[in-house]
Amino acid sequence: MPLLFGDIYFPENFNTEFAPLKDKIESLINLSRFAGNERRYSILNNKLMRICLLVGLSTPGKRDVKTVEAIKLQKGSRFQASFFTHQELAPLYSALIKLRYNGTSLDLLNNNVLSRIIGAEMYRGRDTLMADNNLENYFFSTGGRTALAKDIPVLNLLVGNYGDAEMEATLDINSRAITNAQIIIAGATGSGKTNLLAVFMQQIRSISAESSYPVNFLLFDYKGEFSDIQNNHWLSLFDVDRSCILDPIERPLPFTPFKNFTGRPQNEINLYSTEMASALSSLDRVTASSNMSNRLSEAIVDAYNSTNGQPITFDLMLKNYQARMKDPDKDDSISSILKQLVRANIFGTEDRADLVGESFIVKMDGYPKDGPIAKAIVYFLMSKLNNIYEQLDKQAVNDDVVQIRHFSIIDEAHYMLSFDNRPLRNLIAVGRNKGLSIILATQNMADFKNKGFDFYANAQYPLIMKQQTIDDKVIKDLFGVSGQELHDIRTAIAGLQKGELIIKDQMAFALGMGSKYKKINVTHLI
């Protein structure tokens, strides 16, 4: 009977203990491969652990029980089942463990014992690869592997437990049974939002990163928590390293924010210019007259005509806008915001990185959260994503799940919901067909409902955490309740503690009976 790997824990201090081997592997791979500003290759933690495990188990010799018993486990950090099922290797792991530990007193059916055995074999593999020239000898090419639709990872995210019960609480992100992959979170300061976002990121990445359909991410780090060097261990949870962190204060983001209209009809530029003019006027709540807005639209068209449809710059936009002013030396509200964007120098003039094909954390804590620069960074990167997704084919599907290509996380999202954010709305609308997930987090329940767009109606999972104020109208609309049911949900929200949330009970809605909500205790991660 093969061993089961359903509840296996990480060895303690893996990141620190295995860092020298990680560096050695990356140094060998990156030798003469990349230069300049291009990102170096970084081996995923799952891949590193799997290499060490396979090398360890392939090394003959008597196994010492005391070595296994000495392995310490990292509480609360479990391997995803996909770690062992990847490339259908679980039977091989089972057979090798039984072979190596045959005749020992260890209980291979005990999850804690099995976890320690796996940790011991990883250490054995590490030590083997670090010795002499073993690493160089182990290097080989796996060759290309065609991605098959059956290989799409099942993104069933473990969030925590339901209430006081032992039943695991999971969110289905990509089965064909759900309508979209959008998540919105409302939680006051101290509610545990940051930890919940980290849980989502860790779950999505650990399940998908090594699959034929990896899910990459874009995170706007308003507080600087995820990019803080003191929290480097968080990055390993997401299978990235510090090369994914983009700080626009240090250097421009490696993307042009503007659309390429080469070979496109003039009318497309005209429509785009109107949208851009409206967005730029909204970034700093400027008071723009109709004449200013028209002038800006015309300046954008002029800029594109001068580049023959190639992406423009804020500087070129400003020059064309001033050329249409009666007194270019006297700033109006539009020229003022354009000058701020030029001085900030937050974007590059060309694309030097793949926004969807890689994962990025954008460091935002150097700018006022409600200021024009922070808004411009988020708005234009959402616009960039929108432009990319317009050109993509539909995602891969199979009988059970659909492909998720990418997810974007916007904390402090209320700053981006206060105006008509067309790119964000478009992304939410097309996300299901193109494999995009949007995760929005804000402090107040009411932030997700405005005149232009109802984010609750377009989210598969509205999650309510601890609130400073409770909006009865939102509860009524979201849960479809009144009277005693409204009172019960209100009471449940008021009683939420850090790391707890309320979610709609879809089964109760389908049956038309029972409580309309469920309470989830979020898995502790950070």
Are 14 and 126 part of one and the same domain? yes
132 and 172 share one domain: no
- DSSP reduced 3-state for 442: strand
Residue 78: the pLDDT is: 82
pLDDT at 141: 39
| DSSP letter for each residue of 139-204 | ----------GGG----EEEEEEETTSSPEEEEE-SBTTSS---EEEE--TTSSHHHHHHHHHHHH
Question: Is residue 197 a part of any domain in this protein?
Answer: yes
Same domain, 117 and 164: no
Interior CA angle at 145 toward 176 and 351, to 5°? 80
Does residue 155 share a domain with residue 134?
A: no
> Residue 13: its pLDDT value, please?
85
Q: Would you say how long the chain is, in residues? A: 526
Quick one: which of 153, 258, 263 has its CA closest to 214? Answer: 153
441 and 490, same structural domain? yes
| Two tokens, residue 423 | 């790119």
Domain boundary among 111, 138, 165: 138
Predicted local confidence at residue 143, as pLDDT: 45
Establish if 380 belongs to a structural domain.
yes
The Cα 117–Cα 84 span in angstroms is: 14
259 belongs to a structural domain: no
380 with 513, same domain: the answer is yes
Dihedral sign for Cα atoms in the order 11, 15, 18, 21: positive
Burial classification of residue 6, based on how many CB atoms lie within 10 Å of its CB (0-12 exposed, 13-18 middle, 19 or more buried): exposed
236 in any annotated domain:
no
Same domain, 383 and 476: yes
CA distance 133 to 131: 6
- The total domain count for the chain is 3
Burial 439-460 (b: 16+ CB within 10 A, else e): bbbbbbbbbbbeeebebeebbb
What pLDDT does 290 receive? 80
Contacts of 227 by beta carbon, 8 Å cutoff, 6+ apart: 221, 245, 247, 361, 363, 365
pLDDT digits (tens, 9 = 90+) for 348-366: 998 988 999 899 999 999 9
Strand partners, 216: 406
Do 168 and 192 lie in one domain? The reply is yes
Compute the distance between CA of residue 74 and CA of residue 68 in angstroms, rounded to an integer.
15
- Residue 94 is given by DSSP the state H
Q: Is residue 260 part of a domain?
A: no
Out of 104, 138, 172, a domain closes at 138
Do 319 and 453 reside in the same domain of the chain?
A: no
What CATH number has the domain bearing residue 439?
Answer: 3.40.50.300
Residue where one domain finishes, among candidates 138, 161, 188: 138
Strands 183-186 and 461-464: what pairing?
A: parallel
Same domain, 174 and 310: no
- Written as one string, the DSSP assignment of 384-431 is HHHHHHHHSPPPPB-SSBB---EEEEESSGGGGSSS--HHHHHHHHHH
pTM of this structure: 0.77
Do 113 and 206 fall within a single domain? no
What residues does 217 pair with on adjacent strands?
407
CB 22 within 8 A of CB 95: no
State residue 422's pLDDT score: 80
CA distance 478 to 466: 16
Which residues form the domain of 322?
Answer: 266-344
Output the six-digit token pair for 502.
């309320």
How far is Cα 363 from Cα 227, in angstroms, rounded to an integer? 6
Residue 44: phi and psi, rounded to 5, are -70, 145
| Alpha carbon distance 175, 169 (integer Å) | 16
Residue segments in the chain with a per-residue pLDDT below the cut of 50:
32-37, 141-144
One domain, residues 364 and 295: no
Q: Residues 370, 458, 220, 353: is their CA dihedral positive or negative? A: negative
Domain contains 306: yes
Asked if residue 166 belongs to a domain, the reply is yes
Report yes or no on 18 lying in a domain: yes
pLDDT at position 445: 86
Cα–Cα nearest to 463, from 486, 490, 441, 484: 441
- Rg, the chain, Cα only: 26
- Give me 98's structure tokens: 């039984």
Give 449's DSSP letter: B
Share in percent of the chain as helix, strand, coil (round to 5): 45, 15, 40
What whole-number distance in Å separates Cα of residue 149 and Cα of residue 467? Answer: 42
